[in-house]
A = this chain, B = another copy of it.
Amino acid sequence: MGASPRRVNLSIETTSRVQVVDITARVEEAVRELGIEEGTVHVFCPHTTGAVAVNEAADPDVATDIGRALSAMVPDLRFAHAEGNAPAHLLATLVGPSELLPVLGGRLGLGTWQGVFFCEFDGPRSRTVWVMGSP
């Protein structure tokens, strides 16, 4: 049996401009691949218009609401950034690039209703999220 990897890359395709994607099952699978038994797993988005969040995974409407509400919070300014996606950079900064999550008994140790989400604010895109254990 080989050594556990240090990082598992999740490939994620989004289909709309703003999308909040439930990746809980895939992070769970990555925790197994990484061989983490107790401790933490670090879920990190290496893209500047994407983010990682934790929120309710039971009702998919919550993710949809959060995406719509975040978009509605962007102030109506004349942005300097010439690519036209300054709002996406703003929202990625607010939600943040990573989450550090508990692992208990080889499984994600979240609250009953919590899931892990990848947020894209400038899609559609092909993106990667990194899942890493402790060194």
State the oligomeric state as a number of copies. Answer: 3
- Interface secondary structure of A, over-half rule: mixed
User: Among the listed B39, B90, B95, which residue makes an inter-chain contact with A134, where contact means beta carbons less than 8 Å apart?
Assistant: B39
Q: Does A21 contact B (CB under 8 A)?
A: no
Residues of B within 8 Å of A94, CB to CB, are 70, 94-95
Q: Does A100 contact B (CB under 8 A)?
A: yes
A45 to B56, CA, bound (A): 12
Q: Which residues of A contact B (CB under 8 A)?
A: 6-7, 38-40, 42, 44-48, 53-56, 59, 61-62, 64-66, 68-70, 72-75, 77, 79-83, 86-87, 89-90, 92-102, 110-114, 130, 132, 134-135
Q: Can you give 24 A-B contacts (C-beta < 8 A)?
A: A6-B38, A40-B42, A40-B135, A46-B111, A46-B114, A47-B113, A47-B114, A48-B54, A48-B111, A53-B96, A59-B81, A61-B79, A61-B81, A65-B79, A65-B89, A69-B74, A69-B86, A70-B93, A93-B95, A94-B94, A94-B95, A96-B96, A97-B99, A100-B100
